[in-house]
Amino acid sequence: MTGYLKQSPTSLQFVTFIGFFIGFMLLYIVAMQLLMEPLTGHSLVELQTGDLSDPNLLGYVKITQFFYSIVVYFVPAAIFSYLWQPYPFRYLGLKTAPNAWQLLLSVMAMYSVLWFAGLLNDWNQTWNVPKEFRDMQEQAEKLVTAMLRMPRLQDLFINFILVAIVPAIAEELFFRGVLQRLVIKSTGKVWLGVFITAIIFSAIHGEMLGFLARVVLGFTLGAIYVLTGNLWLCILAHVLNNGSQVVMMYLFQHGLMKTDPTKDSPVAWYIGILSAVVTVGLLWALRQKSSPEDMTDRTMAAREEADRIGMDENQ
């Protein structure tokens, strides 16, 4: 057990993880600046501000989004969990498959909370934010709209992978699997750690006019992880949340659905409150169907000793 990050102070673990994040973020930016134009004929600025109706340019944008998720989120989380202790899959909550009840309740909670998130989003849209933030929001919406143009069935499968599966796995490993654990250890307060992580999760996405909705979704994902200790549930809930938007966009574009999923309808206050109450109830039911790990690490030593004994018996 010697030489692992788990034996270091929490502050050092936190600094190490943030260092990985900043380091790989800088690596991604430098690599894009140096390699993008020689390889594609387009600079990084052109990819961000160019004509996204050009399918070749749009294809390059999708590739950069894929590598962004992998390099900036997945790799730092994977390296940190590997260095933290000799059982990274247990540390991340990926060792045990969820049961059917946990799966059903997690998905229902994720969808139930959408109306509460929508209610807060209606208020968020009225915020008097600087013009720069509104411009960033418009640019992000244009990018998403362009990426989700799906004239062919194969575009649906490609976007489902790029928009739903890859970001869900990478972000859940990063935010819930590692960052939330470190924040909980640092504060000693489980639900405060979940809330702080949800704020960071939303802030990093950089959309001030969608800030509150993303905090709610991030908190719900964090709650699922705390209540079950199983990151597979968070990943699947994240995939289904993002993936449903991709599928609905495809159906709308091909006339199989009449309502434009990009147009938000106002949520009545009583619907939003009911949504929050139902979500809390579903999370409570999820807790009854789970045996979560103590994420303050008070029981980690005992679990690792049990794993070590099991490995010795199998040898």
Give the model confidence (pLDDT) of 135-172 as tens digits. Answer: 888 877 888 888 888 999 999 999 999 999 999 999 99
What pLDDT was estimated at residue 1? 45
Predicted local confidence at residue 314, as pLDDT: 43
Report the residue count for the chain: 315
Provide the pLDDT for residue 180.
Answer: 97
By mean pLDDT, which of 30-34, 124-128, 224-228, 310-314 is the weakest? 310-314
Q: What is the DSSP string of 185-218?
A: HHHS-HHHHHHHHHHHHHHHHT-GGGHHHHHHHH
Rounded to an integer, what distance in angstroms lies between the CA atom of residue 291 and that of residue 93? 12
pLDDT tops 90 at residue 190: yes
Mapping DSSP to helix (H, G, I), strand (E, B) and coil, where does residue 53 land?
Answer: coil
What share of the chain has pLDDT > 90, as a percent?
A: 59
Domain map (residue ranges) of the chain: 97-314
Q: What is the DSSP string of 116-127?
A: HHHHHHHHHTT-
Give the pLDDT confidence of 37-77 residue by residue, as tens digits: 887 777 777 776 666 777 777 888 888 899 999 999 999 99
Q: What is the pLDDT of residue 230?
A: 94
Average pLDDT, the chain: 87
Instruction: Tell me: pLDDT of 312 over 50.
Output: no
Instruction: Output the pTM of the full model.
Output: 0.89
Q: What is the pLDDT of residue 307?
A: 46
- Confidence tier at 116 by pLDDT (50, 70, 90): very high
Position 253 pLDDT exceeds 80: yes
For the cut 50, the answer to whether the pLDDT of residue 183 exceeds it is yes
Average pLDDT for 230-247: 94
Compute the radius of gyration of the chain from its Cα atoms: 21
The pLDDT of residue 294 = 64
* pLDDT grade for 302, boundaries at 50, 70 and 90: very low
C-alpha distance across the termini of the chain, in Å: 18
Residue 137 pLDDT: 81
Of all residues in the chain, the percent with pLDDT exceeding 70 is 89
Residue written as token pair 């980690």: 300
Question: Please, which pLDDT band fits residue 233 given cuts at 50, 70 and 90?
Answer: very high
Cα dist. 301→11, 22, 225, 297, 312 in Å? 19, 30, 20, 8, 16
Q: Which ranges of the chain would DSSP assign to H, the alpha helix?
A: 10-40, 44-49, 55-68, 75-84, 88-92, 100-112, 114-124, 131-147, 153-159, 166-171, 181-187, 190-205, 211-228, 231-253, 269-288, 300-314
Q: What are the tens digits of pLDDT across the range 69-115? A: 999 999 999 999 999 878 888 889 898 889 999 999 999 999 999 99
Identify the pLDDT of residue 293.
64
